[in-house]
Every structure is written in C-alpha cells, then in structure tokens.
Amino acid sequence: MSTVTERSLRTQLWRRKPIAPIQQRGDDGLTRSLTTFQLMMFGVGATVGTGVFFVMHEAVPDAGPAVIVSFVLAGIAAGLSALSYAEMASAVPVSGSTYSYAYATLGEVVAVGVAACLLLEYGVSTAAVAVGWSGYLNQLLENLTGWRVPDALSAGPFAADPGVVNLPSVVLVALCAVLLIRGASESARANAVMVVIKLAVLALFVAVAFTAFDADNFADFAPQGVGGVTLAAGTIFFTFIGLDAVSTAGDEVRDPQRSMPRAILGALVIVTSIYVLVAVAALGTQPWQAFSDPEQGEAGLAQILEQVTGSSWPGTVLSAGAVISIFSVTLVVMYGQTRILFAIGRDGLLPRRFARVHPRTHTPVQNTVVVALVVGLLAAFVPLDSLWDLVSIGTLVAFIVVSVGVIVLRRRSPDLPRGFRMPGYPVTPLLAIAACVYILAGLHWYTYAWFLVWLAVCVAFYLLWGRRHSALERAGGHGPGPAPDADGGAR
C-alpha cells in the first residue's frame, strides 16, 4: 500500500501539462484583443515608474554613484532572461507566465513553487508601488493647493514616520481594480496613454537635471565596493517585473507567437535606456549621500528638480507624471497577478472561482476583487522598504526557471514550433541563470528566510489540497511526466 501511495505521489508531483492542448484556445471566456504595441506598453508600464521614481532612495545609499552599474547589471540579467522569455512565450503562448512554462516543462510541483514566487512577486510589488504613490501625490497636492493628506492617513503604523493607514495607496488599488474589471482592452488603452505621459515627464527630468550636472558627484564612485553594487542590483531587479508581466497576457494577445517576443524585447530596450539616463542625470545634480536623506524618500526626483531650478513648477510637473506613472505600474502588475491566479485556478491548483470570467466584461471579476483586497491591506499597513527585496527574490527565481525551461524544452521538443529562437543557445540561457544567481547572492539572509516560509506554505497547500484537485488528476491522466522505471516508480 505504501509503495502504491509513494508511486502515486511521485507521479502527481512530476506530471507535466501537455504543450499541444495549452496552445489551443480553450473555452475560458478571455478574448484576444491586445496588439503588439499595447503589450509592449504593458511591459514599459509595469517597469518604468518604480526603478526611477523611488527606488533610487533605497539603492543609491548601498552603491553610491555605482548604482548606474547596478542598473546595468540588473538590465543585463533581465536582458538575458528576456531572451528566454521571448522563446518560451512564442512556444507556449498562454496566460500564467513562468508558472505555465514550468508546468509544461518541469512538472507540477515545480510549477507550484514558481506560482508561489509569482504570487509573492506580483502581490508584494503592487503593494510596494502603491505605498510609494502616496509621496508623489502629497507633493503634487501641496504644490497645487498647499494641502496634503494628513500624515496619519499617508503612512502605515510600521513606517519610519508611523501613521494609522496609508489611505492614498488603498484608493489607488481600488481604482486599478475597477479599471481591470471593466476589461483588458480598456486597461491596455489607458495604460498606453499613461506610459506616453510618463516617458515625456522623464525626458523633462533628464533635460532639466543635466543643466546642473556636476562630474565631481561621481568622484567617490563605489564607496561600498562590489558588495554594495550587487546589493543595489538585487534591490533594483524587481523593477524589471514588467518583462514577466508581458508574458501573463498570452491568452489575450493577437498572434501571440510573434507579438509576445517583440513586446518583451522592445520593452527591455526602452526600460534599460530610460533607467540609465535618469540615474546619470539624478546623480549629477547632488552628492550620492543626499539620496539617503529621509526627505527624499518621498517624491525624490521632484525635489531634485525643485533644487535645480529654484522653482516649484518642474517638481509639480514631475510629481503629476509620477502619479500617473505609478498608477500605470500598479494597473499592469495587478493585471499580471489576476491572470496568474486565473491560470492556476483553470488548472485546478486553486479553487475554480479564480478562473471564472464575467460573461460581459470577459474578465475574472472575483479573482480581481481578491487581489485588490490582499494588496490593499499590504499597502495600507506595511512600509515600503520592507517589501523590495522580497519582490526581487521572487522575480529572480522566476527568471531562472524560464531559462531552465528553455533548455529542457529544446531537449524534449526540438521540433516544437517557435516564433522566436534565442541566439547563442545554450550559452545564453546559462549566462542568464548565472547572472540571476549572482544577484541573488547579494540579498540579505532574512529575505531568504521569509521567502522560504512563504514557499513552504504554498507547497503545503498543494500537497494537502491542490494535487487532488488538479485538472490533470480530474481528467484521470498524469500528463507526459516521468516515465515509470522497472519497479513502477517514476524516474
């Protein structure tokens, strides 16, 4: 009896979802309405707005002016991983991002672990971004009206300057939820408009900041050494979550095998270029030590412009752009979270209600409401600096899994149709894995501790509930999992 149970458990853990059925559009209620441009703007929208608008305050004290190298290092790791994403997205063009890729290539238990990373990555990222929105909103309100949201309602009880609740962040999450419930194409159009506005505002920042550029600010280039550069890269890396967000839209994109690789690579080029330009411009205006000033924790870039010009109007324009920009980041990352939950629910590893789609709006309404409630609570009460590294570790693990998946899929299904093949295989995915591992090595030990606790909770849920309700289990099949060996076990 124990041998049968062990064999059954091992088969459940390592069964894989067949790729052919994944590629066929099921009767799930989602519609293919997104274009390549809209999808690329999803990637830019989910990325630009975090790394430049407020993570500088967290990263520059770690690396000094060498934070520019940290941005480039994170960009290289993300770029190598983006090539893996592009190939996987063209071969397995469905919602669910890395979770779906892992399910098709590495097995159900690995997919569950990746799902845990993604839920952590997207949920915590959305909350962190929403927390940072409050600072720019207050800066904008103060410049325009002389009034700001009271401190008690602008920060959670555990922030450095504690309040009662971060009310603006809750309002932001609620507004994004309403827009997402209305429909994917409506959300994509709104996001595209916001992305254009944010890019124009950042171009204004670079132009104005370069008028006060002082090369002496780069003299003490790497005060914390290589360790500081790596630590900052780890903090920054989560901002490249937009590349993963693109791959969550596989079931709603027209011609996904062509559109998704183009959108991922296009977003990467735009994002990395903007990050480096803004970082150089900002560091040229003031000594790197000034970025650790608590006053620059809120609306730091807007304050830099006000110092450079001696006037409030550039800071007001930048604050307005940041308010719009961070809105678009929150919108797209929340979208990604809901589509990942949709895919997991569709596969039966979460209750089916997460995969229910409203017949009129073609959106997973219940799913979106759950995401909004959880993210809203996090944003309302958890401080910003407690969240960054948790997002980065989830993002890095997801990126590693995608690169591993490319190697596995090339070996198992070499003839599978692919709209994009990454250059330099197999060196490129191995370099992507190495770059991500290098950045992971720079994170704090307690980040790993919290991550492992979360991973253990998710795996326990799968073992107790998910594996018995899996769609593969209900279908009576086990997918193309490990072949049985001589004694009936799984290899």
Q: Is the pLDDT of residue 374 over 90?
A: yes
> Which pLDDT score, from 0 to 100, does residue 108 have?
92
- pLDDT tens digit string along 305-335? 888 887 778 778 877 887 888 888 888 888 8
The pLDDT of 340-356, averaged and rounded, is 90
CATH of the domain at 392: 1.20.1740.10
Is 20 part of any domain?
Answer: no
Q: Is the pLDDT of residue 487 over 50?
A: no
Is 157 part of any domain?
Answer: yes
- pLDDT tens digit string along 48-106? 765 566 677 778 888 888 888 888 888 888 888 888 888 887 787 766 678 888 898 88
Report the share of the chain in percent with pLDDT over 70: 85
What torsion do the CA atoms of 333, 336, 338, 341 make, to the nearest 10 degrees? -130
Structural domain total, the chain:
1
Q: Is the pTM of this model over 0.75?
A: yes
Structural domain span for residue 211: 35-474
d(CA 81, CA 439): 13
> Which pLDDT score, from 0 to 100, does residue 175 have?
92
The pLDDT of 17-36, averaged and rounded, is 60
- pLDDT tens digit string along 395-415? 788 889 889 999 998 998 888
Mention every residue, 6+ apart, whose C-beta is less than 8 A from residue 24: none
pLDDT band with cut points at 50, 70 and 90 for residue 30: low
> Which pLDDT score, from 0 to 100, does residue 351 have?
92
For the ranges 229-238, 378-387, 458-467, the maximum mean pLDDT occurs at: 458-467
Ranges 28-37, 99-108, 252-261, 322-331: which has the least confidence: 28-37
Is 159 part of any domain?
Answer: yes
- pLDDT tens digit string along 121-144? 788 878 878 887 887 788 788 888
CA angle (377, 380, 386) in 5-degree steps: 95
Report the share of the chain in percent with pLDDT over 90: 14
Is 275 part of any domain?
Answer: yes
Between 393 and 369, name the one with better pLDDT: 369
Is 6 part of any domain?
Answer: no
Is 30 part of any domain?
Answer: no
Q: Is the pLDDT of residue 179 over 90?
A: no
Q: Is the pLDDT of residue 285 over 80?
A: yes
The pLDDT of 440-463, averaged and rounded, is 89
Is 15 part of any domain?
Answer: no
